[in-house]
Structure 1
Amino acid sequence: MKRIYSLSILIVLSVITYACSISDNSDPLDVYREIAYNALSSNVKATVVGDWRRAEVTAWVDGNYLVIFETSDQILGPVRVVVDPDRGIWLEILPRP
């Protein structure tokens, strides 16, 4: 009886340890990329080069983030979208240089 009890405890502890060791490999900035991408018109989305899910995300003023999408339009340059992380919305699409 003691042996079954000890084995049960060992199994439960192993399962708990395994469950705690599983980590989420998703990038927390993916949410901001998606918000910014959804702010773009379909015409602009068509010019985005590569996977938009890998767009550069940098810190911006007032705690906001700047998401930068590279485009195939070399004359207009990249599309830059300001995202408010607290409200989960895009604030502005910056003028292209």
Structure 2
Amino acid sequence: MGLLDSMKDRLGPAKGRVSDLAQRHEGRILHGLDRAARVVDERTGGRYSDRIRRGTGRAKEAVDRLAHKGGPGAGAHGPVPEADTDGSAPPPSAPPPVS
């Protein structure tokens, strides 16, 4: 058993607990993310509004994936790619190049 396999075995129960907490407290987590984003945006004078908005959106998507909304493995924007048997995730699909 390799190092990554042993780490996956140890982190498996923790992932279940985190997922359960995300399901139970999703509203509070999302509210906290919005509040933190608003405070940071005010303190930076709006200079980084776009970056803050993107980061907040990504954090909300991560909470959504953790809470397993819409069934196992589904997030706000469709299913989360499953890992191959060797533990590597499939490559993300990219749009075709523009000529």
Query: Normalising TM by the smaller chain, what interval?
Result: under 0.3
> Please, what TM-score do these two structures have when normalized by structure 1?
0.26
The structure richer in helix per residue is 2
Q: Which is higher, the Rg of structure 1 or of structure 2?
A: 1
